[in-house]
Amino acid sequence: MFKVKSQIEFDMAHYLSGYNGKCSNLHGHRYKLIVSIKSETLHQEGQLRGMVDDFGNIKEKLKEIEDLFDHKLVIENNEEGLLLSEKLKELPNSFDVLLVPYRPTAEEMSRDIFHKLKAMGLDVCEVELFETPTNSCTYTED
């Protein structure tokens, strides 16, 4: 069995609606995303001979994930999130808000990223998202 991994990092702020404690304040992280693709076999001919997939192809897809989340403020698309988003739009500074249909935890984000990569045609088997250097969530459907 072969398992290839590729990783990217991005900076993102999030707000956890309905959370009590230190993380209830709007704050940011430097996220590290590690994506794994596994295969029993390698390509036998052509450009991809001897490979599971081209790292360049994987990086291209990861760049789309990076562009989606990097330097965004990610808020859940609920009543409170919409109110916060509207208030921020009233300020003179422009805030790049990304509304998502879930509480933006490492768990929910790793599942979302897994499905986004699948939809892009990447045969991903595992997504690990580090929210801090010592805390991560792994999402897999194996």
> Active-site positions?
23, 71, 131
Q: What gap in Å lies between CA 78 and CA 83, rounded to an integer?
A: 8
- C-beta atoms surrounding 121 within 10 Å: 9
Q: What gap in Å lies between CA 30 and CA 19, rounded to an integer?
A: 20
Q: Are 117 and 65 a contacting pair, CB within 8 Å?
A: yes
Tell me which residue of 141, 82, 85, 133 sits closest to 110, measured CA to CA: 141
